[in-house]
Amino acid sequence: MKIKNPFLLKLGGYLIFAFSRMWMSTLRMRAWLPDVNLDPAVLDEDPEHPRRRIYLFWHEYILYPFYLRGGCHLTMLLSQHADATILYHAAKLAGFGVVRGSSRRGATGALKEMMEVSKDRQHLTITPDGPRGPRRTLAPGAVFLASQLQMPIVLMGYGYDRPHRFNSWDRFALPRLFSRARTVFSEEIMIPPDLTKEQIEEYRQMLEKRLNELTEDAERWAESGEKREGEIGCDRRKYGGIKYN
């Protein structure tokens, strides 16, 4: 049964926020840039950085950036479905800006709002297979948005060490307490302006393939526990933002 009571929706948002803070804070988090010559600024969402970015990751790993990247001047695209209202309240508590819509349903209005938000020195983040899938299939809206705004895309492959998996469309991943969590970043990917439908589809396929590769790499890394040259430790700062070590 769907919850409609505004108080219960806000309470649910608080409980998700509190749960994610408690649960995710136990993880051992590491990040890696495959190319050591890449600008490490792709790891950060500092509004003072001259280039704003669009960060993409798969829906099943939403708990990871939800915990780690609140207060990083990120605006998140969330579904218009009623069951996403609880997540909306949780995201606001965590320090995210929020636009309601998706890269499929309600796409036109949501993308226009994301364009407006980007003018306010905000980075953008999208789960391009949400809100209903298919799993790990990238919708074209993110390509169109990056092309229109001329903001680079950064892909984030996330992985946990043998997480619990829900029986949901995305096989939602819940990490085991005190386990390993890993991120593998792509380089900044610029999408040319004024693309045709055929070109949008070409970039969509390329980004989907690349994000799947990064995610699978992060999952193998998390499970193996191996050390990687150039890996970076990361954790959430007390009052928001990311601390690297």
Q: Quick one: pLDDT at residue 112?
A: 80
Global pTM value = 0.91
d(C-alpha 84, C-alpha 78), whole Å: 7
Residue 181 pLDDT greater than 80, yes or no: yes
Which run of H or of E encompasses 217? helix 197-224
Give the list of residues 6+ apart from residue 173 with CB closer than 8 angstroms, or none.
Answer: 60, 61, 63, 160, 163, 164, 165, 166
Task: Count the domains in the chain.
Answer: 1
Task: Tell me, yes or no, whether 174 lies in a domain.
Answer: yes
For the stretch 162-171, contacts whose Cβ atoms lie closer than 8 Å and that sit 24 or more positions apart, written own/partner, are: 162/223, 169/132, 169/133, 169/134, 169/135, 170/58, 170/59, 170/60, 170/129, 170/130, 170/133, 170/135, 171/60, 171/135
Residue 45, pLDDT above cutoff 60: no
Least confident of 7-11, 107-111, 133-137: 107-111
Q: What is the pLDDT of residues 205-221, one digit of tens each?
A: 999 999 999 999 999 99
Res 103 pLDDT > 90: no
Q: Which of 30, 102, 44 lies closest to 74, judged by CA?
A: 44
List, in sequence order, every residue forming a beta bridge with 76; answer none if it has no partner.
98, 125
- Answer yes or no: is 66 within a domain: yes
Query: What's the confidence (pLDDT) of residue 70?
Result: 86
Does residue 18 register a pLDDT over 90?
yes
Q: Is 128 exposed, middle or buried (0-12, 13-18, 19+ CB in 10 A)?
A: buried
With a CB cutoff of 8 Å and minimum separation 6, the contacts of 41 are: 49, 51
105 CB-near residues (< 8 Å, 6+ apart): 79, 80
Task: Looking at 54-101, list the stretches that DSSP marks H as alpha helix, in order from N- to C-terminal side.
Answer: 63-68, 85-94
- Give domain status of residue 1, yes or no: no
DSSP string, 126-161: E-TTTTT--TT---THHHHHHHHHT--EEEEEEEES
Q: Which amino acid is at 135?
A: R
Owning domain of residue 182: 6-36+44-244
Unique residue bearing structure tokens 């950064």: 154
pLDDT given for residue 40 in this prediction: 59
